[in-house]
Amino acid sequence: MDQRTTGEGDPFTVLTVGNSTGTIETEPFWLDRQPVVAGVRRGHIAQVIGEVESYRDRPQLKVTSLRVLPPESVDARTLLPSVGSVDRYWETLDGWRAEIRKPRLKRVVDLFYTDDDFRRRYQECPASVRGHHAAIGGLLKHTTEVAAIARTIARAAAADTELVLAGVLLHDIGKIESYSWDGVFGHTETGSLLGHVVLGALMLDRRLAAEQPPPCTETERNILLHLLLSHHGRKEFGSPVLPMTLEAEVLHWADNASARTASVAEALSNPANFPSGIVSSGIRGLDGRRFFRGNSDWGAA
Amino acid sequence: MDQRTTGEGDPFTVLTVGNSTGTIETEPFWLDRQPVVAGVRRGHIAQVIGEVESYRDRPQLKVTSLRVLPPESVDARTLLPSVGSVDRYWETLDGWRAEIRKPRLKRVVDLFYTDDDFRRRYQECPASVRGHHAAIGGLLKHTTEVAAIARTIARAAAADTELVLAGVLLHDIGKIESYSWDGVFGHTETGSLLGHVVLGALMLDRRLAAEQPPPCTETERNILLHLLLSHHGRKEFGSPVLPMTLEAEVLHWADNASARTASVAEALSNPANFPSGIVSSGIRGLDGRRFFRGNSDWGAA
Amino acid sequence: MDQRTTGEGDPFTVLTVGNSTGTIETEPFWLDRQPVVAGVRRGHIAQVIGEVESYRDRPQLKVTSLRVLPPESVDARTLLPSVGSVDRYWETLDGWRAEIRKPRLKRVVDLFYTDDDFRRRYQECPASVRGHHAAIGGLLKHTTEVAAIARTIARAAAADTELVLAGVLLHDIGKIESYSWDGVFGHTETGSLLGHVVLGALMLDRRLAAEQPPPCTETERNILLHLLLSHHGRKEFGSPVLPMTLEAEVLHWADNASARTASVAEALSNPANFPSGIVSSGIRGLDGRRFFRGNSDWGAA
Amino acid sequence: MDQRTTGEGDPFTVLTVGNSTGTIETEPFWLDRQPVVAGVRRGHIAQVIGEVESYRDRPQLKVTSLRVLPPESVDARTLLPSVGSVDRYWETLDGWRAEIRKPRLKRVVDLFYTDDDFRRRYQECPASVRGHHAAIGGLLKHTTEVAAIARTIARAAAADTELVLAGVLLHDIGKIESYSWDGVFGHTETGSLLGHVVLGALMLDRRLAAEQPPPCTETERNILLHLLLSHHGRKEFGSPVLPMTLEAEVLHWADNASARTASVAEALSNPANFPSGIVSSGIRGLDGRRFFRGNSDWGAA
Amino acid sequence: MDQRTTGEGDPFTVLTVGNSTGTIETEPFWLDRQPVVAGVRRGHIAQVIGEVESYRDRPQLKVTSLRVLPPESVDARTLLPSVGSVDRYWETLDGWRAEIRKPRLKRVVDLFYTDDDFRRRYQECPASVRGHHAAIGGLLKHTTEVAAIARTIARAAAADTELVLAGVLLHDIGKIESYSWDGVFGHTETGSLLGHVVLGALMLDRRLAAEQPPPCTETERNILLHLLLSHHGRKEFGSPVLPMTLEAEVLHWADNASARTASVAEALSNPANFPSGIVSSGIRGLDGRRFFRGNSDWGAA
Amino acid sequence: MDQRTTGEGDPFTVLTVGNSTGTIETEPFWLDRQPVVAGVRRGHIAQVIGEVESYRDRPQLKVTSLRVLPPESVDARTLLPSVGSVDRYWETLDGWRAEIRKPRLKRVVDLFYTDDDFRRRYQECPASVRGHHAAIGGLLKHTTEVAAIARTIARAAAADTELVLAGVLLHDIGKIESYSWDGVFGHTETGSLLGHVVLGALMLDRRLAAEQPPPCTETERNILLHLLLSHHGRKEFGSPVLPMTLEAEVLHWADNASARTASVAEALSNPANFPSGIVSSGIRGLDGRRFFRGNSDWGAA
């Protein structure tokens, strides 16, 4: 919701309305139609009827009617950006998970991944609030990408692929308690105070403690906790300890590769980043870097 | 244990022997007396009889007899540097702890501080392996200093002094599982993999979970965990989250003030740091800074 | 003074008026009442009569009359934020100062602290222009806090408490020539060009040079100048030399502890930092950190 | 070659001799056998006959005869560490290269990869002088790993996999002119003055300029040069421009993942890094980090 | 072009019009005269007739008529900021160039500096897009300054002055392909993807390759390429290699000295940087530093 | 003085003896001749008679007789490295100083530069203890270089050349009280505690205060003090304030250019930095950079 003034000084209001498929700006509401948008606030859910037109080469929604709905009338999650159906991610991940054969490792992973409550929350959770994979289902998509990359790196580096995969599956579990996605993406109080890295370690520690007999040895628990704690790879990025095992190193780079390339892909696909041609303006969330979206068919027909 | 060669090329051996009161170098063992020191290794416990002499203004131990003892024959802790009797620290800390009146806060702190096992380990543990307060009892001394400083800062900043004190008492509990002090100071496997900051948070979390009914609310637990996790004050220093409450900020600066000034005091009192006068060489553990030990009586009689 | 436009596009003006007890926003001045605020500028002194009302849970001043006053008609200092009566700070500081017994140290400190002109300026000066203790009397309040904290640290670290206290009393004297507080807080030309750290050293150096016979030895003068110059503790923070004595180290941490915890306390007490709940937005002057103002009574009745 | 002195002061010499399969220390040469090693220098090629024994749990070569050979008598490359047969790397890489179908992209890549001289040098070159994959054939092995990882990331990020693969194949070509491997690994004069990143870009630019008609358009040449120049990902790491395309971002993370995990794997497999147990000392080339080589079978039979 | 609103809420438009001698703001265009500026956009070329008046001590253009012209009707370069006639810079530079007597060095430099096309582009090119010497002719002016400074440093450091001068003349040639100056200053696609540092090296390399027989030896080419590549002096500033020769070091500091002092001189001469007196606000392009434009005649008549 | 052991284990001693023209190593003193060097210590002054021979391409002093002299028997300064006669530097500097015509500026500069005591100390003082121009007379040579460079930059940047020159002449005066050069180069106690930057400002301030009537205005004094304080250009490098005037900026870059290029020239001329060819090992005092001393005659006869 944005109040602006024309070059001629006439004030007007433009709404940005969105659903799970994207966002679009409305036509301007001039003074005479301000009553239509009078009570609208950021985060409100509304029924909007109108027609998509084009203004200066950008799509614009001509609004016929706009009605704010009570919060509980709609499942807010259906209106947030979403990765779509998560079935294919589960299929891939569960398939790879089945390859974990070491008994105690399998047992620990399954404490979470055979728990329906966990699966339901995990498949809804975004991978970040404003950065990469910030969408319903984003965390699951990110996890699947990290798993694919980590498996490839693990083979190249001769790491323990089962342990790497377990690390991938557990490394971000803290996010389901750190993020909220009821209408807008945000941080929970717990997430703000503890951070998703440590919160994940606490969640794993608590889950293990709840199981009798212990599903793994103390050293094994430490190795897993270390994988979670060190996956950001640098203290400045919130990891209180740096990777000390090959598997932790593999996990870190796979996580980084998925997160960073997704961020760049999202920046390149956002026309708002390219106000004046094929070189973008400096992108804030990516160290102020500029991007280039020129391309070529390299002579392909 | 140090093998050296004279300007004339004659090899000799010098031992550094220590007990809880300090260390001293022996006279050189020349070739003819090498058999005396043949089997001695770093960390060995030995019975040494001799006489303290002076060589070039430095004390030197003239050894009459030297006998390596079996490890179990002596309590190794009695031979490490030590802060001496810990009674006065307990007296001070327990006195201040008694001022905590908020019921649930008191209950949480007492889970540890009325536990004899905890007290026994806590009063032995060093505050660091090679840095400040690296001595048996050093952690308790450090805790007492932090408490005194934190109380003063808390009053100045109008922070919740009870919560600050609880934070002081709990902030370093992870060290008793992170450090080892059986003969030499070192890190445990758990301490290496998790770090004492997060390990402390896990220990608090586990202890709270073991208690029924819960000794505090979930938000209260988060506030306490946050105090532990953020007390290093900067991510580069191993805190995965930065202080978000006034009490966490107070704790951080009090901890820093005790640790850093103790390090400087120790550097200034170590003659080895002043090989050529009143300005030291660059001290590695203190950012390579130089120190000045000149002083004055300011006209005092 | 802030010109804004409503959601409906109607322009209006809101004044922020303040006196020594705080600031409050006025009701909006719409187009029809713009003449009332036409000549008002930032820094003007005005007589404002009105009534405090409430608008969306925030207090708002409904203005009955507003009259800009000539600058000389009012003592501008009485209108700036203020710590209130400074008597208690003087009482505390002068008491501690009396404990300095080393003759030449006492003499140096008293050159300033028994000088009425110095005391008058010192007790008015803010401790910063926009940061911590930015209030009339703020420097004296800050000095008292630093003294309390430094004394506690000094005892813990076995530093020379008299020298530490002298350092506390002198470390910020440069601020009374670096800052201005006539109507708004600002920097003097001298303060901009030399900085308060070096300016303090110059002021001490000049004052000592003006005294015959010299109140202290040359080494003593250097030790004091070093205390002033190194008190920011890091070159990036404007100290041209790093602390080389235990007393300089103690002073640095005490100064830091007072300044930083005061900044956090001020950030936490400012509702404008908490636009959307109990977690703040990122605070610019505090490294962009977020803060948490949730709390608990821990079961206290 | 290392001259040492015993605890008893007796000097002796120990050689470290190596071939492509590894290195081993000799038994000590005492004074009486010094003539045997008198003329030996670092980098010399020698025929050594002896027997492997064990001393304090470490293997040791008991030397029967030792004869220094003239430099030209042996191909020095056969004595350097080596990754072994490179056939499997070529097979994999050439297979993937065959999947590049865009005509001009294929043409550019083949300018190098169908050139026998290039292939011969490329398959000998190490990937670094002292870091990861520092072995004959190391560059080819590293390239194969980067290709595998980059393809996985490219699929996850929906990047142009053909262009990514071309970038992988070309990104390190500058190393064949920057490094030397005649007896010991080193840097060429050109490599020192220009660096392998820019040298690779110059080599590509020259090769393209030598072809008539031009194998690709000017924009395509720029896109490829950009891939080479930006692949270190940060200016501090020697990339004069930062990745601006999704393919450059993918290449950077794949390169990093291969290089860093290989370095960690090498550090973990080197017993010299673990002088005192399962936690290593700080490893210089890896930011001084410590590593952990404890492990577990997780209950596997 | 700036739309604003008065304190009274009346919207208006102010244009900033400029030609090669500078820029000036127009009087406000109120609602009634908006049609005059309706079609004007940033970068448009317009014929503006009016009168310069003064408003609140700042000059203001009272516009009588304003007519947007077709882009091709005027040479856009004549309207950009300009350093004026470039003859004196050529005279100085060509004079110094004539002092290069080493045959192959002279030959390389003359490949560019006797090429009329090169000279025409070089004398138009700005030295930066928004920073120092951002003016038509700025690059030539900057080059002349760097040459003067570098010659002085070279003499002091006993460097090879001919080689230093050659480095000065060639170090920024990449800018003529990296920048564009048709109407506004900008970056070319090639400049964005490769950066002017490497692009200059490629241009030199290509030019040398086009000459038969080679104008210099391979080592000489490397020495020159190194001068270009290293002239930013630090990797963070875009130099992929750091200066390894005395001449490269001299070039770097001369370049820096010209660029930085020009930036400061420009900041000091811009009244917009001094909104409130003789100390500026923090200048963004200069690390946020503040500047002082007070001065004195030091008693000169 | 260096005790070493041969490959065969025979201990020996090598002296490094030097005078103002350089240093040379002696032949080894074997066990039988140890008595000759028995009492020699670092810093001793000795009369050495011998012959220069060559050993493995390096010069070596074959010592016939060696006699330690009493400290007072020789002026130690004559044995330190030296820039030689300082007359030409004085001639240049005094000539340029004569061009300062602004009365009060000239008066301030002459307070120092017409003072014979000052001139005597200034012309002996090194410009650093271990870095650039570390030689008797080095400070004067450095000052002359900075003056030449600063004058050139000042003209390019249209700065006040008289003020810049005054800044050059005064910027390092603190070094004559910060450094000592009696036998070896070192730091004074005052220099360690205050640093030469602030010490210079104090010396200027005291000298101005000693003059009646004041030789300049207060603003002028601040401008000069600012020049001294800011000349290191960055807080990390010990300047408590950053350059705020164009003249301070010019001074900073001229100082940097002289110091850095001198350091590089010295590193390049030291054969010890090039143990293995034309590329040096990493040079500690120059950020670990490597240097290249290959060169070419570019076809000159």
* Separation between Cα atoms, residue E205 and residue B63, nearest integer Å: 73
pLDDT at B193: 98
Lowest pLDDT segment from A205-214, B116-125, D68-77:
D68-77
CB contact under 8 A, C7 and A34: yes
- Over residues E227-281, the pLDDT tens digits come to 999 999 999 999 999 999 999 999 999 999 999 999 999 999 998 899 878 999 9
pLDDT at D25: 76
Mean pLDDT of the region C193-220: 97
Helices (H), chain C: 34-37, 87-97, 103-113, 116-124, 138-157, 161-170, 175-178, 189-209, 218-229, 246-268
Mean pLDDT of the region D253-282: 94
**In the predicted structure, residue B147 carries a pLDDT above the cut 90:** yes
Taking the CB of residue A196, how many other CB atoms lie within 10 A of it?
A: 26
At residue D62 the predicted structure's pLDDT band, cuts being 50, 70 and 90, is confident
**In the predicted structure, residue A31 carries a pLDDT above the cut 70:** no
Q: Are strands F11-14 and F2-5 parallel, antiparallel or unpaired?
A: antiparallel
Q: How many CB pairs under 8 A join B and F?
A: 29
Mean pLDDT of the region A162-177: 98
Task: Extract the tokens encoding B144.
Answer: 């007492």
Residue E223: list chain F partners with CB under 8 A. 294-296
At residue E62 the predicted structure's pLDDT band, cuts being 50, 70 and 90, is confident
Angle CA(F44)–CA(F50)–CA(F53) in degrees, nearest 5?
A: 115
pLDDT at D154: 98
pLDDT at F182: 87
The percent of residues in chain C predicted with pLDDT above 70, rounded, is 87
Q: F216 to chain B, minimum CA–CA distance in Å?
A: 36
> Which of E11, E38, E189 lies nearest to residue A9, judging by beta carbons?
E11
Residue F158: list chain E partners with CB under 8 A. 265
Task: Extract the tokens encoding C291.
Answer: 């803060």
- Is the CB of residue E88 less than 8 Å from the CB of residue E141? no
Residue A129: list chain C partners with CB under 8 A. none
Place of tokens 């966490």: B248
CB contact under 8 A, B206 and A201: no
Which of E204, E205, E174, E207 minimizes the C-alpha distance to E192? Answer: E174
Report, as ranges of residue numbers, the positions in chain F whose pLDDT lies below 50.
1, 7-9
Q: What is the 3-state secondary structure (H, E, C) of chain F?
A: CEEEECCCCCEEEECEEEECCEEEEECCEEHHHHHHHCCCCCCCEEEEEEEEEEECCEEEEEEEEEEEECHHHCCHHHHCCECCCCHHHHHHHHHHHCCCCCHHHHHHHHHHHCCHHHHHHHHHCCCCCCCCCCCECHHHHHHHHHHHHHHHHHHHHCCCHHHHHHHHHHCCCCHHHHEECCCCCEECHHHHHHHHHHHHHHHHHHHHHCCCCCCCCHHHHHHHHHHHHHCCCCHHHCCCCCCCCHHHHHHHHHHHHHHHHHHHHHHHCCHHHCCCCCECCCEHHHCCECCECCCCCCCCC
At residue E79 the predicted structure's pLDDT band, cuts being 50, 70 and 90, is confident
* Separation between Cα atoms, residue F45 and residue B141, nearest integer Å: 51
Interface test with A, best of C8, C274, C290 (most A CBs within 10 A): C8
Q: Is A258 on the interface with C (CB under 8 A)?
A: no
* Separation between Cα atoms, residue A243 and residue A163, nearest integer Å: 14
CB contact under 8 A, C253 and B250: no
CB contact under 8 A, F241 and C201: no
**In the predicted structure, residue A13 carries a pLDDT above the cut 50:** yes
Could you give the C-alpha distances from F128 to F136, F174, F225, F263, in angstroms and in order?
A: 10, 12, 21, 11
Q: In what order do the strands lie in the sheet with E11-14?
A: E2-5, E11-14, E29-30
Task: Extract the tokens encoding B240.
Answer: 């995965």
Q: Which amino acid is at C222?
A: N
Q: Are strands B58-68 and B186-187 parallel, antiparallel or unpaired?
A: unpaired
Taking each helix axis as running N to C, give the angle between helix D246-269 and helix D161-170, from 0 to 180 degrees, rounded to the nearest 10.
50
Which of B245, B254, B210 minimizes the C-alpha distance to B225? Answer: B245
Which of A50, A76, A278 minimizes the C-alpha distance to A183? Answer: A76
Which 8-state DSSP code applies to residue A136?
B
Interface test with A, best of B163, B177, B192, B194 (most A CBs within 10 A): B194
Angle CA(A209)–CA(A213)–CA(A219) in degrees, nearest 5?
A: 65
Place of tokens 């019975």: B47
> Which of C11, C189, C192 lies nearest to residue E5, judging by beta carbons?
C11
Which of A16, A19, A42 minimizes the C-alpha distance to A29? Answer: A16
- Is the CB of residue F156 less than 8 Å from the CB of residue E263? no
- Over residues A97-120, the pLDDT tens digits come to 999 999 999 999 999 999 999 999
> Regarding predicted confidence, which is higher, F269 or A20?
F269
What was the ipTM of the complex prediction? Answer: 0.85
> Which of B8, B290, B294 lies nearest to residue F31, judging by beta carbons?
B8
Which 8-state DSSP code applies to residue C28?
P
Lowest pLDDT segment from A283-287, D150-154, F26-30, F258-262:
F26-30
Q: How many CB pairs under 8 A join E and F?
A: 160
**In the predicted structure, residue A236 carries a pLDDT above the cut 60:** yes
Q: D10 to chain F, minimum CA–CA distance in Å?
A: 8
CB-count burial class (<10 Å; 0-12, 13-18, 19+) for B250 = buried
* Separation between Cα atoms, residue A24 and residue A58, nearest integer Å: 9
Q: How many CB pairs under 8 A join A and D?
A: 159
pLDDT at D8: 46
Up-side HSE of residue A287: CA atoms within 13 Å toward CB?
Answer: 10
The percent of residues in chain C predicted with pLDDT above 90, rounded, is 67
SS3 E127: coil
Q: Is C279 on the interface with E (CB under 8 A)?
A: no
Interface of E with A in 31-50 (CB under 8 A): 31, 34, 37-38
> Which of B206, B237, B240 lies nearest to residue A197, judging by beta carbons?
B240
Q: Which amino acid is at B86?
A: V
pLDDT at E224: 98
pLDDT at C31: 65
* Separation between Cα atoms, residue A281 and residue A290, nearest integer Å: 6
Whether omega before E213 lies within 30 degrees of 0, making that bond cis, reads: yes
Helices (H), chain D: 34-37, 87-97, 103-113, 116-124, 138-157, 161-170, 175-178, 189-209, 218-229, 246-269
**In the predicted structure, residue C256 carries a pLDDT above the cut 50:** yes
pLDDT at B54: 63
> Regarding predicted confidence, which is higher, B177 or F14?
B177
- Over residues B190-222, the pLDDT tens digits come to 999 999 999 999 999 999 999 999 999 999 999
CB contact under 8 A, C294 and A189: yes
> Which of D5, D279, D294 lies nearest to residue B3, judging by beta carbons?
D5
Phi and psi at residue D66, to the nearest 5°: -145, 125
* Separation between Cα atoms, residue F122 and residue F109, nearest integer Å: 14
Taking each helix axis as running N to C, give the angle between helix B103-113 and helix B116-124, from 0 to 180 degrees, rounded to the nearest 10.
70
At residue C84 the predicted structure's pLDDT band, cuts being 50, 70 and 90, is very high
CB contact under 8 A, A292 and E192: yes
Mean pLDDT of the region E170-175: 98
SS3 E243: coil
**In the predicted structure, residue C8 carries a pLDDT above the cut 50:** no
Taking the CB of residue D272, how many other CB atoms lie within 10 A of it?
A: 9
**Most confident residue range from C41-45, D22-26, F8-12:** D22-26
pLDDT at D52: 78
> Which of E152, E245, E262 lies nearest to residue F292, judging by beta carbons?
E245
At residue B8 the predicted structure's pLDDT band, cuts being 50, 70 and 90, is very low
At residue B7 the predicted structure's pLDDT band, cuts being 50, 70 and 90, is very low
pTM: 0.88
Interface test with D, best of E239, E241, E242, E244 (most D CBs within 10 A): E241
- Over residues C142-189, the pLDDT tens digits come to 999 999 999 999 999 999 999 999 999 999 999 999 999 988 899 999
Q: What is the 3-state secondary structure (H, E, C) of B20-37?
A: CCEEEEECCECHHHHHHH
pLDDT at D55: 59
